[in-house]
Every structure is written in C-alpha cells, then in structure tokens.
Structure 1
Amino acid sequence: MTIDPDATDHGEVARPHDSRRDPAAVRTGLQRWLAGRVPDPVVGDVHIPESNGMSSETLLFDARWDGADHRLVARVAPVDSAVPVFPRYDLDAQARVMRAVADTTAVPVPHVHWSETDPSALGSPFLVMSRIDGLVPPDVMPYNFGSWVSDATDEQRATMQATAVDVLAQIHTVDPAAAGLDTPPTAGDAIRAHIAAQRGYYEWTTRTGPRSPLIERAFTWLDEHAPDDPNPAVLCWGDARIGNILFDDFRPAGVLDWELATAGAREMDLAWMIFLHRFFEDIATTAGLPGLPGFLRRDDLTDAYALRSGHAPEHLDFHTCYAAVQHAIIMLRIATRAVHYGQSEQPDDPDSMIMHRATLEAMLDGTYWKALT
C-alpha cells in the first residue's frame, strides 16, 4: 500500500459509509432505552461524526432529565456485517477499566453513565459516557504536518509531551485486577500472553484475508527476543497515543479509547506512543515534509517516564518492534476491509498492505533506530 501525501481523504479508506446508522433511528432507540433508566428523558438530535473511527462507532447526543442537560457520547460495538477491525468488543470491560482509572488516579477519563450489554436498543452493545471538549491531534492528515500541533510552539508541544507521559505513569499505578483484568505474575509473563493473543488476532484476521510473510517472520523474532521481565505487570492503556487524548491548552482534558487495555509491561504503552509518532514521522519523510522530529523522541520519553514514575524503561528495541508488529496486523485488517468494501484491490504481495512495511523490516534487522541517530 502506498502513501499519497497529497490525498485529502485517504483516512476514509476502509471506513464503510454504508454501515453508518440512521440518526433518527438511533434517537428513537436511545429515547426508549433511556426512559428505562431515568425519569422522563428527552433525547436531542444524534450526531454521527464524519471522523468516526474504524473500530467501535461514536455517536454524539444531548439528553435532558431531572431538569438538567447532559452532553453525552455513545460508543457502539460494530456488527459483524461491518467487517470489524477486532474480533471482540467487550464494552463492559472497557467501562470497568475506565471506572478503575477514574477512581484511583487524576487521569481525565470520561464519566461512564451506563454500559449496556443488551443489543436490542441500538443493534449492538454500547457505552454511554459524558462528553469532554478538547482538541485531538489528527490522524488525517497526520498531526505532525499542517495541524494545530505542528503550528504550536516548542514550549506548547513540550507541555503536551510531559503531560502525556504523566498520563501513562498514572495509569500504570492502577491495579489491573481492580480494573477486572486477569493479571499474570510478572511483566514477562504478561508480554508472552499478549504475544499469544496477538498471534490469535492475526489468525482471525487471515481467515478472511491474506497471510503476511513479514508478520509471520516478526512473530518468530518476537518469540526469540521476548524479555524475561521480572517486574510486576501493570494496567496498560493499550492504545497509548496522543491521538487518543483530548487536549485543552495543550494539557490532557480527556483520555479516550480503552478497548485495548490489558495487563502488561509499562514499556508496552511507552513503546506504542513512541512508535505511533514514528509512524507519522516516516509518512512525513516520505512526503518530503519536515514533520516534528524533536517531538515525542524515544530517549526523551524514556527519560521523562523514568523521572516521573521511578521506573527506568528497558528492552525498548523489543517493545517498539512489538508495537510495529501489532500495528502491522491492524493495518493488514484495515486493508483487507478496504478490499471487502471495494475501496482498493487485493495486491499480489500482501506485505504491501502494511503501510510501515519498511519500518518493521528495519526494526527486525536491527537497523531502524541506528539510522535515526
């Protein structure tokens, strides 16, 4: 898959417009459902953002009950016909994680009003949460060129970076068991369990799409290099990137998207934040754009996290490569989804469906980080 830096809608690839819900029908369903939980509710217009995600669906709506107005968000699990990105969407588990984080840290997560496991109201399980205002670093086009992030000053981005690291450090103080997660004895055990789950995800993805020789080579590498980390497993956000943070005055106002939360090593979150920025930086380089090479640098994040948490991150070559492997499986699934919806054609080489193929190859060869120094 090639990257077209001049495209304005490439983020819409694999985003199935014909699977989006009818706002009027959603309003009716929410009105009926909410009436069973609060007295005499009135649901306002439902808004479905154009930038809706490719995993669970986001619905914005206002409601009034008990004389008060409430600005709300519903996250709805996708139906199978929408060719979901992930095989399972446990929104009830997400609610438990978010409540545990809210109860024990100062991380600004949305207040979860309800978690509905019965699909009858909207056709799928859903969460209803409070809505938080703020700016999100965009994915389309990437925030590291032509966005409010790239237009900010170095000092403002330094504030974003420091506070994002603080979010990670706080999340990692939460007991995974308190969040309802199974917790392996050590971080090393958690890493190996997580790799096994990712291998299962890859096998699920390839049931309806092509297999990737690169990803399969990467799994062999992971098995050979997985660290035996004796530290305790911690709660990991799972999708730890600044694109999942709402910022107000360059500080976190809301921390979103907890569907990949798990028990793991601290470095899993840190490496995900590092890699996702590098993913966008490599796009900028390909497009001949300056990007933000001084932002979210690996060594800076590592040092800041150690200072904030008291834990010196280890095995970052492994963990950033593992992040690249996880993202490769997601990219393979998204590209397969695009083929399903007729938005692209199946290439002869399935590895070309992975946008960061060259990055992953260089990480497996041990040359990626050396080339950046």
Structure 2
Amino acid sequence: MSVPLQRDPHRTREAIAQWLTDRFPDEGTPTVGALSTPVETGFSGETLLCDVKWNHRGGRSLVRSLAVRVAPARHNLLPESSWHRQVRLQELLAATDVPVAGIHGSETSGELLGAPFVVMERIDGRVPGDIPSYHRSGWLAELRPAGRAQVWNGGLQLMARLHRLDPDALDLSFLDDPAHGRAYGPVGIRRQFGECLANVEFYGVQDDPVVLRAADWLRDHCPEEPDPPRLLWGDARIGNIIYSGHTPVALLDWEMATLGAPENDLAWYLFTDRYLSEGLGLHRLPGLPGRRETVATYATFLGRPLRDLTFYEVFAAFRFTLLTSRITRLMAGTGIQWPNGRTPSLRSAALLARVLEEAGDVACSP
C-alpha cells in the first residue's frame, strides 16, 4: 500500500525545486510538476513522483521524470531507521549488474521536507500490486500463464544476481552495524531473529500466542549458516520489482537489506506471495511456478542446493506477522475499514499458524 501524501503539495514542490536549484545550479530554473504517489506498493516512507522541467538560456529545455523518496516521518515500520544505509547501498548497487534506480543526490537534513530524502530517476514500468493483490486483479492477472511465469522467474534471476555479489568487494561492512546489531550476534539469521525478539513490544505482538509459539519453534530449529554471508535484499518479492513487459528492470526498497544466507530472501519471496493469495482467501494465479519448481529453479541459479528452507519459511511467516501487526496499528487511525474485521495482522497470524503446523518438528530441509 502506498503512504498517502503527508505534506502540502505546493510547499513540497517549492522545496524540491529549491533543492534541485542548489544541487544543479548550471541546469537552469527547474519547474516541478504535479506530485503523485505510486498506487501499487510502498508503506514505510513516502515516494513522490514528478516531472521536472529545466528552462535553459536560449530556449532549450530539459524534462526529467524523478522519484523523491522521503524517509519515514510518522509511519515508522521498523524500530530503528536504516535510511542512510539503504541510500548508500543503492548507490553502490548502481555500479553493479543489479538494476536499481540511479540516484541524482540525497539530502541528509530534514530542513526542506521534514525528513531526509533521496532524488532518483523514475524508471518507466509497472509493479505487481499489493492492494488489491495481484492475484485478484491488475496487469499480472491479465497476462497469459506463460507471461506470469516469466515475471516470477525473472525476479528470481535478479535476486540470484544480487546473491552472487561479493559483499567484501562492495565494502558492505556498514550493514554490519556495531551500534545495535552486534548485540544479537554475528551477521546472519541469529542476529535477525534476535532483533525480532528484542522488539516484540514495538511490533505489538508480545502477547500473541501464535507468535510466541513460532518463536519457540525457531529457537529450537535455528540452523548454522556455513557459507560466508551474502547481501540480502530483505523485502524480496515481485511487488518490489519494476517490470517492462515481462522483464524486470529494477529492484526497489532496500530498507530491510542485511547480510546472511540467500535462503532467507527466497523464503520471503515465497511467503509474501502465499500471503497475497492464500492468506487473503484468493486462488493463486495459474502459471506462477509453485514452491517445488521455484526451489529447483533457484538452486540452479544459485549454483548449490538450498539448505534449511523450512526454517527460513517459518521465520518469514514470523517476521511478516510482526510487520503486519505494526502496519495494522499504524493504519488504525486512518479510517481504513478492513473487510469483516480481518486486519492484515489477523490474516498473517492465521497463515503463520498454518506454516507452523506444516513444519511440525521435522528437520529443516527444502
């Protein structure tokens, strides 16, 4: 879901124009067009879309389509801000073969827009929607089954490309934040799980029996991660990919990026799709590869068998329930009416219980 426009449009356009003038004084005078927000996705933080026209001396003009992403000011989905880390990561990824939106510049203060922001190129394309779910309606639902498979597998290919990057060569040590993360152990699943446990009150799930049962299961089954940690997208799903036709052209949203095992991203990719279909009482779109086919395909892309995927799927369901609980609380004051009172947190908790039942007490394996 997109964050509603939280500020005065006229003043916001003036502030963006001022920033562009200061940042690019040789470009001429910028005129910022109407602001809009993407309708398909994006909750934590505002994304403002606009066209900007520069009038140069001699009558020449230049028009650029920009996306201005503003750090969360009120809708804080995560307990600690990762804003500066995600901007830095996107700048580094722009020099790799992982496609991301190019960054024109960023502002670290909140003087102009009330929060830090980054100005990026706006990439033409379309994104599978969260609300309504792409399993219910939208351009993905209108494709033929073969086209849907291309969309799904194209996302897997880009994710594997990300996982093949060398974190040391990119100098991603800033993702290993000593300020708070190391209190929960070395990078990887134990730290991520530890951070979740330390913030159950922030998410509002400290008394949720399904969440507590899942936490016990995860403690009992937490695997070792024998390989060096890789760069993880964090919010890995087709709803965070811009597509041109059936082809992915950019990965979005690095707020949850971290270091760890690729299985973590794949489990999130699978679970978020399951939530947007089964979790919402919808039939999954024909043509989208199922779990078994997806696992086999991704193992081929990754170049090794997947390990302990059942564990990572339970962890994905657990963490997703924490996040949807937080979203439900944040949206409580906006007047949204959930059908039959079935809030995202109730739906995700129900699906978490189902995932736990399926996992049972068996050894974690694909």
Correspondence 1:185-204 to 2 at 5 A: 190-204=188-202
- Is 1:171 matched up with 2:165? no
Kindly provide the amino acid, as one letter, of the partner of residue 222 in structure 1.
L
Please tell me whether residue 317 in structure 1 is matched to residue 310 in structure 2: yes
Which secondary structure state, in structure 2, belongs to the residue aligned with residue 35 of structure 1?
helix
1:299 deviation in Å? Answer: 1.4
Residue 117 of structure 1: how far off its partner (Å): 1.0
Q: Which amino acid aligns with 1:171?
A: L
Within a 5 Å distance, the mapping from 1:3-152 to structure 2 comes to 17=4, 20-39=6-25, 40-49=28-37, 51=39, 53-65=42-54, 68-79=62-73, 82-105=74-97, 107-152=98-143
The amino acid of 1:118's aligned partner reads: S
- Structure 2 unaligned regions, length at least 5: none
In the other structure, the counterpart of 2:144 is 153
- Structure 1 residue 322 displacement after superposition: 0.6
Are residues 1:261 and 2:257 paired? yes
SS at match of 1:222: helix
Among 246, 249, 271, the alignment partner of 2:245 is 249
CA distance in 2, matches of 1:299, 1:155: 17
Separation in 1 of the partners of 2:332 and 2:345?
Answer: 10
* Aligned mates of 2:121, 2:297 — CA distance in 1: 31
Give 1:127 shift: 0.9
SS at match of 2:248: strand
- TM-score scaled to structure 1, two decimals? 0.83
Q: Which runs of 5+ in 1 are unaligned?
A: 1-10
Please state how far the C-alpha of 1:154 moved relative to its aligned partner: 2.0
Opposite residue 191 of structure 1, the aligned amino acid is I
Q: Deviations over 1:179-206 (max 9, x none)?
A: 3322999x98511011112223423233
The secondary structure found in structure 2 opposite 1:104 is coil
Q: 1:306 aligns with which of 291, 296, 299?
A: 299
- Rounded Cα–Cα distance in structure 2 between residues aligned with 1:262 and 1:109: 17
Q: Deviations over 1:233-265 (max 9, x none)?
A: 100001110011111120102211111111011
- Identify the range of structure 1 (222-231 vs 45-54) with the bigger mean alpha-carbon deviation: 45-54
**C-alpha spacing 1:326/1:245, structure 2 compared with 1 (3 Å):** same
RCO (CA 8 Å, sep 6+): is it higher in 1 or 2?
Answer: 1
Q: C-alpha distance in 2, partners of 1:257/1:24? A: 27
- Provide the rounded CA distance (Å) in 2 between the counterparts of 1:351 and 1:217: 21
Aligned length: 344
Q: Which moved more, 1:64-73 or 1:243-252?
A: 64-73
For the residue of structure 2 that corresponds to 1:366, the secondary structure is helix
Range 82-91 or range 356-365, more displaced: 82-91
Amino acid at match of 2:196: Q
Indicate the SS of the match to 1:332: helix
Query: Take 2:191 and 2:81, find their aligned partners in 1: how far apart are those partners?
Result: 19
Match of 2:268 in 1: 272
Secondary structure of the 1:355 match is helix
In 2, the alpha carbon distance for the partners of 1:316 and 1:339 equals 34
Q: Give 1:282's aligned amino acid.
A: E
The sequence identity of aligned pairs, in percent, is 32
The answer to whether the 8 A contact 2:66-2:119 is kept is yes
Q: Is the 8 A contact 1:164 1:252 kept in 2?
A: yes
Task: Indicate the RMSD between aligned Cα atoms, in angstroms.
Answer: 2.9
CA distance in 2, matches of 1:132, 1:343: 30
